Amino acid sequence: MTILNKSFNTPYNTAPFSEIKTSDYLPAFKIAIAKAKSEIDSIVNNNEPPTFENTIEALDFSGEELDRLSSVFFNLNSAETNDAIQKIAQEVSPLLSDFSNDVTLNEDLFKRVKSVYESKTKLDLTTEQETLLDKKYKGFSRNGANLSEEKKTQLRAIDKESSQLKLTFGEHLLAETNKFEMHLTNASDVSGLPEGAKEAAKQLAEAKGKNGWLITLDYPSYIPFMTYADNRMLREKLSKAFGSKGFKNDELDNQDIVLKIAKLRFERAQLLGYKTHADFVLEERMAQTPENVISFLNELLEKAKPAAEEEFKNLEAFAKDLDGIDQLQKWDSGYYSEKLKQKLFSLDDEQLKPYFKLENVINGSFTVANKLFGLEFEEIDTIDKYHKDVLTYKVTDAAGELVSIFYADFFPRAGKRNGAWMTSYKPQMIKDGHNHRPHVSIVCNFTKPTKSKPSLLTFNEVTTLFHEFGHALHGMLANTTYPSLSGTSVFWDFVELPSQILENWCYEEETLKLFAKHYETGEIIPMELIAKIKASSTFHEGMQTLRQLSFGLLDMSWHAGESPETIKSVKQQEIKAFGKTSLYPDIAENCMSTAFAHIFQGGYSSGYYSYKWAEVLDADAFEYFKEEGIFNKTVADKFKAFVLSQGGTENPMTLYKKFRGQEPKPEALLRRAGLLK
């Protein structure tokens, strides 16, 4: 037995990262799977007739040790991985897939669940219990419990192969990101770059024993170069390197993996009686059908496209006037957009960054959470961390009661994947009369402090931090009985509401005055800069909307169309999907799908539309706050009571209407985006 198979004897029952050896994981998984199997056996072998308590509830609380272990391991595989951890992930994933199938294809267990499900009208269940019963029954039926033995075997094989392909897809992507370096030695090559970006590039080079500057595909290095570097050829080189990840016909190529994953998802859906993978996924979403999603995306496309085309025409004319550029390319987008934005609003990220020192932004997000929901955040050093850069906090309510443990991990490093996400190391649940509080984490990739400057965020990074912190609040304020309905365990087109609504506070003067202070002088951000942030917030909103919609349409093209058997070329499939949304010329050596981790590695397949869907919700919800005051306690209490604390205990539209008093209206989003004239 390893340390991972015992109850953690640590403060707040936190994960004992420093005591875990990598070699502990594989044996720990085998022990935890065996234990979870025996818990399932005891439910199946119970001589008592099936009841909600001895079957449904027992099932939801089973496998607690395995779930906890999986959280620790797979979170580290994203945030602090290495070759050994990746190798274990490849070994463990099929074991977990087999175990999951052992549960969902267990006929005797399904008989008990079905028996309770069929007698549900006679049971006196709460809304949460009814939701759990439906979820458990569907968990079986949607995973093959009603299939013949032969088809169950097919399903197991599909799930096993899919889980390994997703892992390999992610490993290729990380290896591609880490492999590329653009080493620059002429000062002219970094012309246009802000001092902070230059210094960070110099430090990267020094860390590798090189002179000059090092530019990588990590966002804090990539984005500033694409936005500010004057050398167009180098922007082209970097852009093509970024856009060709997994698309080079080499050992890290993802094209076959993409085709295989799409094909397996289609086969799985057909096996279960669904037309496509999207039909299968969307049955458990607010949107319900692929037709609804495609019509939603096309409706927004119709509203956004004229604005996007007008913005693109203006950008082309601007680049031609400024530098004689005849044909605007993708590697010109960030550069000339930033130049035009500076011209129109006399505003650039470099002006704003001194007011957004990372520590101040963190404290700002805490102040917002305090004013809205009465939360207190205290940094503590009594719990273990998986990396020295991680910050750890104890979160309490107004009465001083523990709400959550909070981990924050902000800087890029070799073993960490790109992007930003929220996750959890321990779920919230009420068990044996005790409310077990969650351990929540956010992971980002911001510019590290340099020798002369602290970590200063771009405004986009400020909104990213607030976005992930919104997810974290959804996890922290969870207050449900059952772990599978707790926190962010909601329909995926609802999960982005808490994250996206919090971004709105970043644009408000009342909020910015709380934390946007110059890192050297302590001066509060000038009002004219706040006015410019507001004025520029809809800058190129048409083009941004088109870009988001293109990703949603690409996702649906892989998962809602005809059999992927008919797709021979990943690139051609993509060109077809991007048909209505393309503004820039296509780059032959680039491909989005081979690096589209959200849908081929993460859980967003047939769900990328949900970002826009949730924007409709968040714009409508924030209008309510604006009507009553952005820190209005009554509105905040309703948001906490009906959205943040309820998890997936009830249909999300029901919860939204309880909060808002009505269904969301898309006009709020179009107004905010400046697309409604």
Confidence of residue 168 (pLDDT cuts 50, 70, 90): very high
pLDDT per position as a tens digit, 425-451: 999 999 999 999 999 999 999 989 988
Instruction: Give 594-612 as a 3 state SS string.
Output: HHCHHHHCCCCCCCCCHHH
Instruction: Look up residue 190 and give its DSSP letter.
Output: G
Give dist(CA 630, CA 368) in Å, integer: 10
559 Cβ partners below 8 Å, 6+ apart? 262, 265, 266, 276, 277, 278, 281, 290, 599, 605, 606
Contact yes or no for 632/639 (Cβ under 8 A): no
The H or E element spanning position 372 is helix 358-373
Query: Is residue 486 domain-shared with residue 386, that is, in the same domain?
Result: yes
Q: How many helices (H) and strands (E) does the chain have?
A: 27, 9
Q: How many Cβ atoms are within 10 Å of 677's Cβ, its own excluded?
A: 5
| Average pLDDT of span 208-236 | 97
- Give pLDDT, residue 667: 87
pLDDT per position as a tens digit, 326-341: 999 999 999 999 999 9
If you search the block for the tokens 């890029």, which residue do you land on?
412
User: Is the backbone of residue 138 left (phi > 0), alpha (psi -120 to 50) or beta?
Assistant: alpha
- Give pLDDT, residue 453: 92
Query: Is residue 137 domain-shared with residue 187, that is, in the same domain?
Result: no
Query: Is residue 32 domain-shared with residue 104, that is, in the same domain?
Result: yes
3-state SS assignment for residue 153? helix
**What are the tokens at 238?**
């970097």
Contact yes or no for 640/586 (Cβ under 8 A): no
Domain assignment of residue 588, yes or no: no
Query: Is residue 108 domain-shared with residue 189, that is, in the same domain?
Result: no
Domain assignment of residue 310, yes or no: no
Domain assignment of residue 342, yes or no: no
Contact yes or no for 361/391 (Cβ under 8 A): no
- Give pLDDT, residue 674: 87
Confidence of residue 461 (pLDDT cuts 50, 70, 90): very high
| Average pLDDT of span 174-180 | 95
The gap between the terminal CA atoms of the chain, to the nearest Å, is 66
Residue 676 has pLDDT above 80, yes or no: no
| Average pLDDT of span 362-381 | 98
The last residue of one of the domains, among 222, 243, 264, is 243
Query: Is residue 196 domain-shared with residue 69, that is, in the same domain?
Result: no
- Give pLDDT, residue 1: 84
- Give pLDDT, residue 587: 97
358 Cβ partners below 8 Å, 6+ apart? 410, 446, 454, 455, 456, 457
**What are the tokens at 303?**
């509203």
Q: Give me the long-range contacts of 366-373 (CB less than 8 A, separation at least 24).
A: 367/514, 367/515, 368/466, 368/502, 368/505, 368/511, 368/514, 369/469, 369/473, 371/631, 372/631, 372/636, 372/639, 372/640, 373/473, 373/477, 373/636, 373/640, 373/644
| Average pLDDT of span 391-403 | 98
Residue 677 has pLDDT above 70, yes or no: no
Using a pLDDT cut of 90, give the percent of the chain over it.
92
pTM of the model: 0.85
Residue range(s) defining the domain that contains residue 213: 180-243
Give dist(CA 441, CA 14) in Å, integer: 12
Residue 599 has pLDDT above 90, yes or no: yes
Query: Is residue 120 domain-shared with residue 188, that is, in the same domain?
Result: no
| Average pLDDT of span 583-600 | 97
In 3D, which of 121, 133, 112 has the Cα closest to residue 50?
112
If you search the block for the tokens 């931090």, which residue do you land on?
465
Q: How many Cβ atoms are within 10 Å of 47's Cβ, its own excluded?
A: 4
The H or E element spanning position 442 is strand 439-443
Domain assignment of residue 328, yes or no: no
Using a pLDDT cut of 70, give the percent of the chain over it.
100
Contact yes or no for 80/386 (Cβ under 8 A): yes
Give dist(CA 470, CA 163) in Å, integer: 29
Give dist(CA 401, CA 660) in Å, integer: 29
CATH code, domain carrying 115: 1.20.1050.40
pLDDT per position as a tens digit, 279-311: 999 999 999 999 999 999 999 999 999 999 999
**What are the tokens at 609?**
């539309």
Confidence of residue 265 (pLDDT cuts 50, 70, 90): very high
Domain assignment of residue 674, yes or no: no
Q: How many Cβ atoms are within 10 Å of 33's Cβ, its own excluded?
A: 20
Contact yes or no for 656/620 (Cβ under 8 A): no
CATH code, domain carrying 473: 1.10.1370.40
Confidence of residue 675 (pLDDT cuts 50, 70, 90): confident
Give dist(CA 461, CA 365) in Å, integer: 13
Give dist(CA 614, CA 494) in Å, integer: 6
DSSP string, 295-328: HHHHHHHHHHHHHHHHHHHHHHHHHHHHH--SS-
Query: Is residue 229 domain-shared with residue 119, that is, in the same domain?
Result: no
Query: Is residue 479 domain-shared with residue 400, that is, in the same domain?
Result: yes
- Give pLDDT, residue 602: 85
The last residue of one of the domains, among 484, 510, 537, is 537
Confidence of residue 511 (pLDDT cuts 50, 70, 90): very high
Confidence of residue 603 (pLDDT cuts 50, 70, 90): confident
Query: Is residue 365 domain-shared with residue 513, that is, in the same domain?
Result: yes
The last residue of one of the domains, among 95, 125, 146, is 146
Give dist(CA 206, CA 201) in Å, integer: 9
3-state SS assignment for residue 183? strand
Active site residues: 468
- Give pLDDT, residue 404: 98
409 backbone dihedrals φ, ψ, rounded to 5°: -130, 105
DSSP string, 633-666: HHHHHHHIIIIITTTTSS-HHHHHHHHHSS---T
| Average pLDDT of span 510-523 | 97
- Give pLDDT, residue 463: 97
Q: How far is CA 157 from its chain centroid? A: 28
- Give pLDDT, residue 347: 86
Domain assignment of residue 647, yes or no: no
**What is the chain's alpha carbon radius of gyration, rounded to the nearest angstrom?**
25
What is the pairing mode between strands 182-184 and 402-409? unpaired
| Residue 251 Cα distances to 117, 173, 240, 301, angstroms | 49, 11, 18, 37
Query: Is residue 364 domain-shared with residue 495, that is, in the same domain?
Result: yes
| Residue 305 Cα distances to 411, 434, 497, 548, 551, angstroms | 36, 53, 25, 12, 15
Domain assignment of residue 272, yes or no: no
Query: Is residue 390 domain-shared with residue 459, that is, in the same domain?
Result: yes
Domain assignment of residue 202, yes or no: yes
**What are the tokens at 388?**
């020295």
| Average pLDDT of span 192-220 | 95
Q: How many Cβ atoms are within 10 Å of 396's Cβ, its own excluded?
A: 16
| Residue 82 Cα distances to 87, 251, 257, 507, 578, angstroms | 9, 19, 22, 39, 36
**Domain count of the chain?**
3
- Give pLDDT, residue 349: 82
Query: Is residue 462 domain-shared with residue 526, that is, in the same domain?
Result: yes
Q: Which residues pair with 184 in a beta bridge?
A: 213
